[in-house]
Structure 1
Amino acid sequence: MNVKTNLNQLEPQSLIDAFLKYPPDTFNVQDSNEKLSYFTTQFNLLTTLDIPVRKKIESIIGYQHWGKLLHLSTCFIGTTVTEYTVLSKDFNVQQIVEKLKKSAAKNTLTIIKDLPLNSPLLTDFENQFSQDLINAAEKAGFLSVEGQALAYVPIDFTDREDYLSRLSKSRRKNLKRKLKSLDELTLEIVDTGAELFKDNAFRQHLYQLYLAVYQQSEIHFDLLTVDFFDEILQNEHSGGRVFLYWKDTTLVGYNICYEYKNNLIDKYIGLNYDLAMEYNLYFISWFVNLDYAKQQNLKFYVAGWTDPEVKSKLGANFTFTRHLVWIKQPVLRFILRRLRHLFESDTHWYTQSQESKS
């Protein structure tokens, strides 16, 4: 299956193809006639709530029983392996909105996810195209919800010391101390498709380290499959780079990045948690990725959606997205329209962080 798309795409097509071929557990993935990837699943409404709010709701007596009512049949336009919803130049914005409304009767929710808002990672044309889609969908009755904070770093520094000099004195001191752990590890950067990834046992080990990260996460939504990892790790034409961190013969952790369109896109991480904590791997890998992007003369390091507060302290910038939600039942539409602020946690965090600086 091969989807030809070219707007908002920060990742190689092979990654999208792998998602369509081997979707996450519980996802039913298809393509529409408008060249949009989409998937359906039972979506828990609490998934993207502010964590304190979600935990309060989950602590209510009987949640294990009545909480199932919050799992709604949902169609998501887009994928979970791309930073943005990838669009095609070939469709008319107004027509696609109307077609989505007509097909929305099949599910309780229809969500056009992760549309960029003036993203510095995209062209003016791409940003305007997405804004036109947002405007058309809002006029058609879609609920507009602020999306997540995508972390990125412009590669405009001379070297690591120059980058660190832009951070506060206390953070510089703390990070330099943590970076000393790199002296005790061996770094190996291996292209996907290399001989190393033909070993099934090694690929299984990498998948188990990915599962360790997934299971400790606050959000459980798209559990990628072992077949998906097999597919991307063995693809030699994708521009994939796997950063492996070893302590002697023990793998401490890794992350899978893609060098694409003059950017380094950080996609997946796996950790041996005890060792990763001991050797400060999260912080080390940040600077190793920045060093690599600089050495390759890339434009941006794109660091993903998770842990925005930590990435802010590491010097990241942020760009936001918009989700557009069609809600079939009028009563539910009325309720969610008034509660949508509860689903905009990254925006709340960012606003508070900017206010604290002023």
Structure 2
Amino acid sequence: MKTDLNQLEPQALVDAFLKYPPAGFQVHEPDNFLAFFYTRFNLLTTLDVALHQKIKALPGYRHWQNMLHLQTCFVGTTVTEYTLLSAQLSAQQMTEFLKQHIQKTRLTIIKDLPLNSPFISEMENNYSQELIKSAEKNGFLSVEGQALAYVPIDFENREDYLSRLSKSRRKNLKRKLKSLNEIDVEILATGHAKFQDAEFTAQLYRLYLNVYHQSEIHFDLLSPAFFQAILQDGDSGGTVLFYWVGTALAGFNLCYEYRGNLVDKYIGFNYPLATDHNLYFISWFVNLEYARVRGMKFYIAGWTDPEVKAQLGAEFTFTRHLVWIRSPVLRFILTRLRSVFEADHHWHQQQELKS
């Protein structure tokens, strides 16, 4: 079934996900419905870090933690910011189709439905609202999703952008940006001959793994074959930005130009070299400048580290997850604990109260 709603990334990225799914994912792409996948999902994945740590510290956790891992069906992919939907199905038709096909799965999640997103059309936003209402009427639990960071490209230059931040943040970031004097930035389009070098792409994958393993959230471990496929695809609009300190590769960032936006997808760091040169912050400003020069509307910076990205000047848009829970007992429990899975939403509310 053709997906024509909510797409912020090139189809090539979705195709690579379907062909080379993350470890432990069973991906399905039926002719008469949207792509979905099965995996064992840890219910603690989206919890606030502090609460997650408290639960892990409970007596006997290592003995009963497997009870929190449920075989789950996800509608969507993990390589797109939003769930890709099809205008061929009305919201009611999609809800009915799902209810017919999820009876044997303990947990089904329609992930990352956009809510008043600035990146898509009014029709697409309205479809999500209709789907949420229809699903809630049919027994789905609606859960607030994560904070998607973005920056409107409406500034003239770096100084103009920094001038919008607080004095203390400007001072801190200007200090970090001095590391740019020690870094050479190289920009290559995906499909470049350099990505035919298996040893080089393996090095990039190792840098990706460095970031993956130090992250608080471990959900989708992408494969070397996936990375090789997207790096060698010259028709996807992908851009790889490399950060060199002398002859050492400190890190890289893979972004896509699509629908007039620059979408930041994957990053890899060579620790501690990347940390010593403030590469996280450097890459933020290099991406902003790249987006400005290319005439992009938005820099879409992803889901992770909302607190840090807020300090860097990001704005946020949110999503909603729709969850079907087969077990009445589990449904009762999770319905009453729903708020603990909405960490980003609570964080954002607290930030708005402070401002």
TM over 0.5: yes
Aligned equivalent of 1:115: 113
2:20 counterpart letter in structure 1: Y
**Residue aligning to 1:85:** 83
Task: Describe the SS at the equivalent of 1:145.
Answer: strand
Q: Distance in 2 between matches of 1:165 and 1:323?
A: 36
Is 1:196 the counterpart of 2:204? The answer is no
How far is the alpha carbon of 1:4 from its aligned partner? 3.1
CA RMSD of aligned residues (A): 0.9
Distance 1:48 1:34 in 2: 31
- How many residues are treated as equivalent by the alignment? 355
Instruction: Show the 5 A alignment for 1:154-233.
Output: 154-233=152-231
Runs of 4+ in 1 over 6 A off after TM superposition: none
Q: Deviations over 1:297-318 (max 9, x none)?
A: 1100000000000000000000
Larger displacement relative to structure 2 (62-71 or 282-291): 62-71
| Alignment-derived partner of residue 57 in structure 1 | 55
Letter in 1 for 2:29: D
Q: How does 1:123-138 map to 2 (within 5 A)?
A: 123-138=121-136
Partner of 2:268: 270
The one-letter code matched in structure 2 to 1:216 is: Q
Unaligned runs of 5+ in 1: none
Which position in structure 1 is the counterpart of 2:28?
A: 30
1:322 partnered with 2:334? no
The answer for the alignment partner of 2:248 in structure 1 is 250
Q: Deviations over 1:14-67 (max 9, x none)?
A: 000000000000000012444411100111111111111111111112211211
CA contact (8 A) 1:5 1:35 kept: no
SS at match of 1:273: coil
Question: Partner of 1:280 in structure 2?
Answer: 278
Identify which of 72, 77, 81 aligns with 1:74.
72
- How far apart, in 2, do the equivalents of 1:4 and 1:214 lie? 31
TM-score after normalising by structure 1: 0.98
Deviation at 1:93, TM superposition (A): 1.4
Q: Distance in 2 between matches of 1:52 and 1:101?
A: 35
Runs of at least 5 residues in structure 2 that lack an aligned partner in the other structure: none
- Contact 1:104 1:110 survives alignment (8 Å): yes
Query: CA offsets, 1:314-336, max 9 Å, x none?
Result: 00000000000000010100000
Paired AA for residue 252 in structure 2: Y
* Percent identical residues: 64
